[in-house]
Amino acid sequence: MDYIVIKGCKLMQKVLSVFHMGSSYPGKVALKCNKSILKSLSDKYKVILVTGTNGKTTTASILAKILRDSGYPVIHNATGANMLPGITTLFIAHESDKEKKYAVIEIDEANVPLYTSIAKAEYIVCTNIFKDQLDRYGEIYTTLRKIKDGIKKLPNIKMVLNGDEPLFGDIEGKKVYFGFNQNPHSYREEKSNVEGQFCVKCRAKYDYEFYTYNHLGKYKCPKCGYKRPQLKYYVSNINIKDDDHVNFKINDTIFIEANIGGLYNVYNILAAAAVAMEIGVKPEILKKSIKSYKARFGRTESFMYDNKEIKIILVKNPAGFNQGLMIPTYNKEDKCGCFILNDDYADGRDISWIWDVDFENTFTDYNNIFVSGSRRYDMAVRLNVAGYNLHCDDICDTIDMLVEKIKKCDNCKYVYIFSTYTAMLSLRKVLAEQNIIEHSW
């Protein structure tokens, strides 16, 4: 019976994929027929789950690349379909592959316990937990509980955890931690508006030797002594060269050069490297593989358009947006900033979170600023309170109008586009219609 279901769904997946559709639907049908299909499909793989609020996509795709470059066959849900149906679809698509080794699975936090109650995994990587679309996900402690529940179901799973994340310090089981040593970008003083700074054990406020960003850092509870665990993999000598080049050392010995920007991506690289080293990947391969990694799908991907370099930065929550806003500050050239805010379900219906973004302290000298998206006026009000001086002319009712504005920006070499998820899809569609980028599916 399962055999027929799998073959049927596989056929469906093949047909749908011709039309660039169906990254989730076949899996949904298969799971409806029999949930344990996921177990039998995934059994032949060493499954590596990658979860957490921010950095899942980038961490998983760097890890998949490292493992491929190491010569292993790897399957990976690169389209971002990270719930059970999407994950099941991935396994269905590769059901008849001859060689099966690693499955690098980006997984939505709430889906972790759903997955581990059906199927096994060898590793789980947890990046961080930030406030994120509270209209959908609820509180950070709810998210934490779901991840912990998922881990409990697989007592032998090996955990690779962000040690700078205070929420992960007391997860029980086999685990290694990665994190940051003090660096020129870390800071001591608390920034206003940081969640999760109160002890998970006794509710007292942590003391930080330093923060890396948001509530990540070297924390210690003054009341009960709960503190950042020993790091097995740590980063030092960070050098952010510009907005898409960074180099640093892992464990003081392995020199890493990467062509992606931002401090948060150093975490993503470190997380992927930690898993790879646990598996036994050699430092030479690691270095080479990371150096040739290119950003994708709104994760600071860039392309040329009309003699301007356009960079798209997907924004979903305050912690990620704050990190994204740092990127143009490393670039001293003439630039323009675009902010596109939608409030569809996938973006989060509540746009209040833009007020938790620290535009004030990342003020950037843009030559031009434009806003668009269904909640463009909210975005404009937010930016004006932060000291930007937007006028009605800078507000684009449609994405096409925004693209026209960008075209006319003769004084800018760089264009940074900060966009929520559905707005990014509309933007990509407009750009693809003008043959500026390729259709992505």
Partner 1 sequence: MNINIYYMYYDLLNVYGDRGNVLILKNVLNQCGINCDIKYITINDYFDYKNCDILFMGGGQDYEQITVGEDIIKNKLSNMQKYIEDGGAGLYICGSYQLLGKKYVAADGRKINGAGILDIYTEKGDKRYIGDIVIQSEFFNSKLVGFENHSGRTYINNYSPLGKVIYGNGNNGNDGSEGLIYKNTICTYLHGCCLSKNPEITSFLISSAVLKKYNVQFDVSIEAPLLMKAKNYIIDRYSKQSVESK
Structure tokens given for 392: 């009605």
Residue ranges in 225-359 assigned as alpha helix (H): 263-279, 283-291, 318-329
Q: How far is CA 313 from CA 113, 304, 356, 427, in A?
A: 30, 15, 18, 12
Applying CB under 8 A, which part among 77-85, 264-272, 381-389, 426-434 lies near partner 1?
381-389
Q: Which stretch binds partner 1 (CB under 8 A): 248-256, 298-306, 343-351, 417-425?
A: 343-351
Q: 156 vs 192, which CB is nearer to partner 1? A: 192
Considering only residues 122 through 141, tell me which ones interact with partner 1, judged by CB under 8 A: 131, 134-135, 139-141
- Sheet containing strand 123-126, edge to edge, reads 74-76, 102-106, 46-51, 123-126, 158-162, 174-180, 233-242, 245-250, 254-258
Return the residue of 377, 429, 430, 436 that touches partner 1, per CB under 8 A: 377
Tell me the closest approach of the beta carbon of residue 340 to partner 1, in angstroms.
15
DSSP string, 282-316: -HHHHHHHHHT----TTEEEEEEETTEEEEEEE--
Judged by CB under 8 A, does residue 193 bind partner 1? yes
- In degrees and rounded to multiples of 5, residue 427 shows phi and psi of -60, -45
Query: Which of residues 141 and 363 has its CB atom nearest to partner 1 in the complex?
Result: 141
> Minimum CB separation from partner 1 for residue 395, in Å?
8
Three-state DSSP at 132 gives: coil
Could you give the 3-state DSSP secondary structure of residue 142? helix
Q: Does 1 bind partner 1 (CB under 8 A)?
A: no
Question: Do the beta carbons of residue 308 and residue 415 sit within 8 Å?
Answer: yes
Nearest to partner 1 of 118, 134 (CB atom): 134
Residue from 177, 321, 353, 416 touching partner 1 (CB under 8 A): that is 353
Q: Is 334 in the site for partner 1 (CB under 8 A)?
A: no
Question: Does 390 contact partner 1 by CB under 8 A?
Answer: yes
Choose among 350, 329, 314: nearest CA to 414.
329
For 260, the token pair is: 């992606």
Active site residue 350: yes
CB closer to partner 1 out of 134 and 285: 134
CA-CA distance, 298 to 87, in Å (whole number)? 21
How many Å apart are CA 318 and CA 133, to the nearest integer? 10
The residues facing 416 across adjacent strands are: 311, 337
Q: Is 67 or 380 the residue whose CB approaches partner 1 more closely? A: 380
Query: How far is the first Cα of the chain from the last one, in angstroms, to the nearest whole number?
Result: 32
Asked if 345 and 420 touch (Cβ cutoff 8 Å), the reply is no
In one-letter notation, the amino acid at residue 362 is T
How far is it, in rounded angstroms, from Cα 268 to Cα 260? Answer: 10
Of 194-202, 259-267, 330-338, 405-413: span binding partner 1 (CB under 8 A): 194-202
The interface region with partner 1, picked from 9-17, 22-30, 190-198, 273-281 by CB under 8 A, is: 190-198
Q: x/- binding map, residues 195-214, to partner 1, per CB under 8 A? A: x-xx----x-x---------
Nearest to 270 by CA among 199, 153, 183, 200: 183
Please select the residue that binds partner 1; options are 10, 46, 158, 382, rule is CB under 8 A.
382
Q: Which of 395, 409, 412, 415 binds partner 1 (CB under 8 A)?
A: 395
The answer to whether the CB of 68 falls within 8 A of the CB of 12 is: no
| 360: contact with partner 1 by CB under 8 A | yes
Least distance (Å) between residue 341 CB and partner 1? 11
Out of 170, 172, 190, 397, name the contact with partner 1 by CB under 8 A: 190
Question: Considering 242, 350, 397, 410, which one is annotated as catalytic?
Answer: 350
CB-nearer residue toward partner 1: 309 or 343: 343
Give least dist CB 159 to partner 1, A.
Answer: 23
Contacting range for partner 1; rule: CB under 8 A; set: 158-166, 282-290, 350-358, 412-420: 350-358
For binding to partner 1 (CB under 8 A), which residues are involved?
131, 134-135, 139-141, 190, 192-195, 197-198, 203, 205, 349-356, 360, 374-375, 377-378, 380-382, 384-386, 390, 392, 395
Q: Active-site residues: which are they? A: 350
